[in-house]
């Protein structure tokens, strides 16, 4: 049986392949999305615009060592 944390998925929102735990979209509370899109949902919900979201995600990727996502 595959471990849900290592299973490869494609995010329905951004189209990027990812592994790890998916996030539950805040837009419909049903769709599973990648971590970045889940983070974007959360940031949008508090009024943070796309440019600042990009900066925040870049900082997260630098800190966590992620590359090539969104």
pLDDT at 5 over 90: no
Alpha-carbon span 61 to 40, nearest angstrom: 14
58 closest CA partner among 43, 13, 47: 43
pLDDT at 70 over 50: no
Tens-place pLDDT, residues 15-49? 999 998 999 999 999 999 999 999 999 999 999 99
pTM (2 d.p.)? 0.80
């Amino acid at each position: 049986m595959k471990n849900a944390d290592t299973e490869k998925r494609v995010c329905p929102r951004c189209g990027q392949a990812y592994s790890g735990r998916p996030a539950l979209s805040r837009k419909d509370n049903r769709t599973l999305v990648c971590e970045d899109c889940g983070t974007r949902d959360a940031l949008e919900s508090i009024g943070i615009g796309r440019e600042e979201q990009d900066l925040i995600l870049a900082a997260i990727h630098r800190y966590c060592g992620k590359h090539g996502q969104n």
